[in-house]
Structures are given as C-alpha cells and as structure tokens.
Amino acid sequence: MNIDNMAIKAEDQKEYRSGFVSIIGRPNVGKSTLMNALVGAKVAITTSQAGTTRRIVRGIVSTDEGQIILVDTPGSHKPHTLLGERMNDMIRSSLADVDVNVMCFPADEKIGPGDNYLLEQALHTGKTCIAVVTKMDAVSSNDMYKKLEEINALAPFSDIIPVSAVKNKQIEDLRSLLIAHLPVCPPLYPVDAITDDTEESFISELIREAALEDLRDELPHSLAVTVEEMIEEDISKGKRMRVHATIHVERDSQKGIIIGHKGKSLKNIGKQARLGISQLLGMPVYLDLHVRVTKEWQRNPKYLSRLGFDV
Ligand SMILES: Nc1nc2c(ncn2[C@@H]2O[C@H](COP(=O)(O)OP(=O)(O)OP(=O)(O)O)[C@@H](O)[C@H]2O)c(=O)[nH]1
Ligand SMILES: [Mg+2]
C-alpha cells in the first residue's frame, strides 16, 4: 500500500466544519470590507457612504478546515421608508438563520443606542455572538485597549477580536475563529465558489458603487440600478460585453445631478463602473447607461419589488 495515500486519508478524517455567519452592525462600520477581506476577493461593494449595502450578499470562504458562508447585511438603522423597513427585516431574518453572529464595532466611533438595539436582537437569538472591532488601524493601541474593555463590559460575547480589513490585520485569525464555532458538517457550497450572487446583480451593484463614490453626499439613498440587457458581441480583438443599464432616481432634479454639466458626471460613473465590470467579466465592456425618474421608488411596494426588494 502507498504510504502517501494513507497520509491523505488521515488528513481527510479531520473534522470539517461548515456553516453560516452573519456580519451585522450600524451603517458604514466596515461590514462589507470585512467580508471581502475574509473571502480574499471583492464580492460586495463598499463605499465611504453609509447605507451602501441594501441586500443580503453571501461570500464564501473555503479552507482545509472548513467553509464559512458569510452573510453581509445592510447597516442597521432607524427606517424612514419602506425600503428601510425591508432592509431591517433582512437583518432580523439573517440573525436567526445563521450559526454565528459577528457584530462589528468601529474602533474609531462611540458605541451608541443603535448598537445596543441591534445587539439585543442578536443576543435574543441565543446564537454565538462574536464582537469584531473594525478599523483597528484608525486608532492607537491605548484607545483600542479601552474599546476592548468597553465591549467586554457590554455583553457576554464569546470572543472579541480587533481587525483591520484594509491592512489585512488579524483576518486570518478571525477566519480560524469563525470556523472553530461552526458545526461539523461537509461543505454546503462548491469549495471554489466565492459568492452566490449573480453576475448581473453584481454588475448593477458596481454601477451603484461608482455612482455613490462620484456623487458623495448628494443623493446616494435615492439611487437604484437595474441591468436591462447584456449581449456578448464579437469585435476585431475577440469578445466584448455590451451592458445596458438604468440608474433610477426619485425626482427630476436628481436626474440633472446624475447627468452633470455636459454629461460629465454620468461619464465618470460609466468610466469607473466599466473598469470594475470588465475586470469581473475578463473582457472589454461597452456600458450604455440611462437615467430614469422612478418617482418615490423607495416607498412604493410595486417599484421595490420590480427593483428586486421583495419581502
Ligand atoms: N481605516 C479603515 N477603514 C475601513 C476599514 N474597513 C472599512 N473601512 C472604510 O469604512 C467605510 C465603510 O466601509 P463598508 O465596508 O462599505 O461599510 P459597511 O458597514 O458595509 O456599510 P453599509 O453597507 O453602508 O452598512 C469605507 O470607506 C471603508 O474603506 C478598515 O479596516 N480600516
Ligand atoms: Mg456594506
């Protein structure tokens, strides 16, 4: 018998763990950046604007020890629209559906009532709750020490771990910690998968990301993006993807802002989004962007459902 094969068999018998981990926290605390760092690839959009993530996005991490299915959630906030209510419903249902909840606290911000409200809901599920202090690169070690003490006194977390997703600090440790908390179970997704999102849905997110970064604080919450059509076409140097997409805004005045003076803003958005989309698809992209006023879509159940925000 071949000794090498026997060694592989013994390795195979190590307990493999697999399960779901939600990433929760207030808007802009670094949840999606953390998920991308854990996955090791961009599977969710991230911006400096609060309220970037609007739907549940799953990122998958597979190692020799196990598989983590990360569930990135929208930032928890007081809802002002039907969309806001649906986003909070998404958070609530993911809290209950996972094996472990990871609650993110940014190192450089105070803990507030919004955190306590979400924490109460997470603890209520009776699931393992891990506190992650994000953006550790943004504070001194002295301030970090105080933050860890404060979080330790806040609730009976199973673990508290500081990380920096942008500097890749303690991300490996967090991966191992998460796997250790998952049930013994074979992989639930193919081990080479990194997300369960569709290409089309991620493309619409990349366009929204480009628009959010370009427009800064002007109207981020009023934007939605839909992809109407994707056509692969032959060009002289090979293949090209033609993408037709619509940016929805809520009011006529917002349409003007998105288009900008002589179309400059829309051109910038298109240029930025095209880069990300061609990287994703591995081929050149022709992006045809239209801006449409879909009045008060955030409050209208019919539009919400058309834009993919079903109950
Ligand atoms: N310095 C620093 N900034 C970070 C880190 N992680 C995230 N950020 C920044 O924090 C901002 C928000 O990041 P996101 O990942 O989009 O935050 P989020 O919690 O997913 O936000 P919502 O989807 O709006 O709830 C971005 O500008 C990130 O670059 C980090 O480790 N260090
Ligand atoms: Mg996010």
- Residue 311 pLDDT: 57
C-alpha 223 chain-centroid distance? 17
Distance 2 CA to ligand 2 centre (A): 50
CB 225 within 8 A of CB 202: no
- Residue 217 pLDDT: 64
pLDDT digits (tens, 9 = 90+) for 186-208: 999 999 999 999 999 999 999 99
Distance, in Å, from the CA atom of 262 to the CA atom of 251, rounded to the nearest integer, reads 19
Q: Which protein residue has the closest C-alpha to ligand 1 atom 9?
A: 30
Q: Which protein residue has the closest C-alpha to ligand 1 atom 14?
A: 30
pTM of the model: 0.93
Distance 245 CA to ligand 2 centre (A): 22
Task: Identify which of 23, 24, 26, 28 to mutate to test ligand 1's pocket (most ligand atoms within 8 A of the CB).
Answer: 28
Q: Which protein residue has the closest C-alpha to ligand 1 atom 24?
A: 51
Tell whether domain 199-306 is in CATH 3.30.300.20: yes
Q: Which protein residue has the closest C-alpha to ligand 1 atom 6?
A: 30
Residue type, 41: A
pLDDT digits (tens, 9 = 90+) for 105-116: 999 999 999 999
Domain ranges of the chain: 3-180, 199-306
The binding-site residues of ligand 1, defined as CB within 6 angstroms of any ligand atom, are 25, 27-33, 46-48, 50-53, 74-75, 134-135, 137-138, 164-166
pLDDT at 275 over 50: yes
Question: What three-state secondary structure class fits 189?
Answer: coil
Distance 175 CA to ligand 1 centre (A): 18
- Give the nearest ligand 1 atom to 36 CA: 15
pLDDT at 8 over 50: no
Non-local (6+) Cβ contacts of 260 within 8 A are 266, 267, 268
Written out in words, the top-level CATH class of the domain with range 3-180 is alpha beta
